[in-house]
């Protein structure tokens, strides 16, 4: 349990990106009353946590139902996380790690419920974070390891909720440059973790025996 918790914490932190979510929250909720912004943060965090919990508890079973083995998923998931890490390193947002300009425009005009889309899905619970949580659960051996991953998820989601609530103060402190520095450091860490998942998947596939 204790060896898996820091790994899960680091992986989920860089995959979810609380600081990046906080900056997008600030942009998408600009002009909202304080009470509405707080309610949006609560709904967004709750929905994203629920989605990621569902993937954590049922993702491996879903893979079994569709006939996908863990080695294949680890390899594919590692490639996907590698793409997310590239976005972080380049301080940009593609369809893998963010939303399209059209979707962002609709959200800023409040044509959609920004708490659910795009804040909860896909900015917080997106392809990268969903993949990461399933990969982490696939590395567990027993209930203690599972508890460690879920505890790490809880800590990161709590941190994400706090960054949304304090997004104006946080962004005033970090500014764009500080947020980009954190994103790039996170990208390096996520790239290393992604490569490890790829190596694990290839090693378990039996292709190189």
- Domain membership flag for residue 53: yes
Q: How many domains does the chain have?
A: 1
- Domain membership flag for residue 185: yes
- Domain membership flag for residue 145: yes
pLDDT score of 111: 43
Among 34, 186, 39, which Cα is nearest to 119's?
39
**Model confidence, pTM:** 0.86
Quote the domain boundaries for residue 58. 4-204
Sign of the alpha-carbon torsion through 88, 92, 93, 95 = negative
What gap in Å lies between CA 135 and CA 122, rounded to an integer?
18
- Domain membership flag for residue 44: yes
Write out residues in the chain with pLDDT < 70, as ranges.
1-2, 91, 93-113, 208-209
The 3-class secondary structure across 93-141, one letter per residue, is CCCCCCCCHHHHHHHHCCCCCCHHHHHHHHHHCCHHHHHHHHHHHHCCC
pLDDT score of 107: 56
Contact (Cβ atoms closer than 8 angstroms) between residue 136 and residue 10: no
- Domain membership flag for residue 148: yes
The pLDDT tens digits for 159-196 are 999 999 999 999 999 888 888 888 888 889 889 989 99
- Domain membership flag for residue 184: yes
pLDDT score of 101: 61
- Domain membership flag for residue 209: no
- Domain membership flag for residue 118: yes
């Amino acid at each position: 349990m204790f060896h898996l918790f820091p790994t899960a914490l680091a992986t989920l932190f860089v995959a979810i990106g609380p600081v990046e979510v906080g900056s997008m929250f600030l942009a998408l909720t600009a002009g909202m009353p304080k009470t509405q912004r707080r309610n949006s943060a609560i709904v967004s965090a709750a929905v994203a946590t629920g989605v990621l919990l569902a993937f954590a508890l049922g993702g491996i079973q879903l893979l079994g139902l569709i006939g996908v083995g863990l080695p294949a998923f680890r390899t594919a998931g590692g490639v996907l996380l590698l793409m997310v890490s590239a976005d972080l390193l380049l301080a940009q947002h593609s369809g893998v790690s963010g939303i399209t300009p059209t979707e962002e425009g609709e959200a800023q005009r409040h044509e959609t419920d920004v708490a659910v889309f795009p804040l909860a899905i896909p900015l917080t619970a997106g392809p990268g974070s969903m993949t990461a949580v399933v990969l982490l659960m696939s590395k567990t051996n027993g209930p203690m390891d599972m508890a460690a991953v879920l505890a790490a998820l809880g800590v990161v989601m709590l941190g994400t909720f706090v960054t949304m609530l304090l997004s104006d103060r946080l962004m005033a402190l970090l500014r764009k440059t500080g947020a980009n520095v954190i994103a790039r450091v996170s990208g390096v860490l996520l790239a290393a973790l992604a490569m490890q998942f790829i190596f694990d998947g290839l090693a378990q596939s039996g292709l190189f025996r």
